Amino acid sequence: MQDTNKSNTGPMQSVAGAASPKNPLTPFVVALGGLLAVQLIAAVVLSFSGTDLSPLESQGPLLAFEREAVTRVHIQGQEQDSLVLEKADGTWRIPSLGGFPATQIKIDDLLAKLGEIEKRIPVATSAAAIKRFKVTDDAYERRLSLEGADGELATLYLGDSPGFRRLFVRADGEQTVYEAELALFDASEKADDWTRKTALRIEQDDIQRVELADILLTRHEDSWSLAGLAVDQNLDQDAAASLIRTLANLNFRGVLGTENKPEYGQDAPVLTYRVTVGDETLEYRLSKLVEGDDHVLSVSNSPYLFRLSEFAAEDLIKAKAADLIAGGESEQSAGESEATTPESEQSAGESEATTPESEPTAEAAPTSVAPIGEIQVLEDMEPVASDVGTPEPPAEPRIPKTEADSAE
């Protein structure tokens, strides 16, 4: 009986165990379902509360101003460097340079970029972060103030850069720091970075006459004539056109203002020249600064003095009439150099020809072939005596005496 019970219960227990196996994925499925339920509940709650989940959506411009209303821009740098740009009668000028015209495009570009800064994702709002990003009231890279007829319109602090052409910025009176598409050069505090670079340029086609050093060029419709040419000389029109382009497109490094200081050397210019544009003749005075390699240029129709680089000044100082003549000094010198080349080569050839006679002949190796010159020397030498000896020359035949010879 005992053995029968054991045999009957064993298979039943095996079947029961096989009917209820434990699934290893069950805990994971339960956890995933719970997480999904939490997300659904959160979405329902937020939809009814009206919370905005789109941080990239703009909350409006950071600076509220109208570009047309801006008449003054004040840029403050780190080390008390300051620049003011003012707009009068529709033209932007630089008061620190005696009202020299500023470049309109650069100012318009700055105002456009400032107006496009929007409140999107805040970078920071804490006082520690504002200090770390260098946009505090006292520590910053730049402080920009925009003013209009009725006073200040907006003020912005520019700080460190998180990347290429990007800056941390903060509007005055706010604690939120944003990123903006700006570079520090866009808001330079250096006056020369804002000057109108075309101030010295004139229309090339309007130039009628040039008097520079020993050069006197006169326009004749589409060509130029050079005074002082000989009968067999011609003007190089390309060289003349190149000089005209240089005079019409002068570039300057900076503006020195309107005050003529002794260190500018304008009382003793290194070059004075005249350019007739239309009916007006402009006089230029080029002098060298007392210190450094730069030069100073003044023009009769402008109250400003300009700083020119040494490279730009040399183009004017070195100009001469000989360089404008077709086949002039430079080409003639090159021709003379080429003409002397054959003589040099001939001298070299003569030197090579005399080398074998002047240099001592080295002993030839047993297996080498002697030079032609050495062979000739050996042929001219007398034969060397040897033990074998050489045959004696045959004796001259005796000629018998005749009676006539005996009579003598």
Both 218 and 147 in one domain: the answer is no
3-state helix, strand, coil in the chain (%, to 5): 35, 25, 40
252 with 271, same domain: the answer is yes
345 φ/ψ angles, rounded to the nearest 5 degrees: -65, -40
* Residues 162 and 245 grouped into a single domain: no
In a domain, 232, yes or no: yes
Looking from the CA of 171 toward its CB, the CA atoms found within 13 Å total 18
Does 225 lie in the same domain as 112? no
Check whether residue 129 and residue 208 sit in a common domain. Answer: no
Residue 103 lies in a domain: yes
**Domain check: are 172 and 217 in the same one?**
no
Residues 71 and 171 in one domain: yes
Domain end point (choices 193, 221, 245): 193
Which residues in the chain show pLDDT less than 70? Answer: 1-25, 28-29, 42-56, 328-408
Q: Which of 306, 324, 342 is the last residue of a domain?
A: 324
22 domain residue, yes or no: no
- Is 379 a domain residue? no
Same domain, 112 and 166: yes
Of 263, 297, 324, the position where a domain reaches its end is 324
Q: Are residues 182 and 210 in the same domain?
A: no
pLDDT confidence of residue 47: 53
- Between CA 146 and CA 152 the distance in angstroms is 6
Q: In what order do the strands lie in the sheet with 280-288?
A: 223-226, 215-220, 207-212, 271-277, 280-288, 295-299, 305-308, 254-257
Give the domain range for residue 168: 67-193
Query: Do 292 and 240 reside in the same domain of the chain?
Result: yes
- Asked if residue 33 belongs to a domain, the reply is no
Residue 263 belongs to a domain with what CATH number?
2.60.40
Tell if the pTM clears 0.75, that is, is over it: no
Q: Quick check: helix, strand or coil at residue 172?
A: coil
Same domain, 208 and 291: yes
In a domain, 221, yes or no: yes
| Count: domains in the chain | 2
Query: Has residue 385 been placed in a domain?
Result: no
Q: What is the pLDDT of residues 346-385, one digit of tens each?
A: 444 444 444 444 444 444 443 333 343 333 333 344 444 4
In a domain, 24, yes or no: no
- Same domain, yes or no: 186 and 212: no
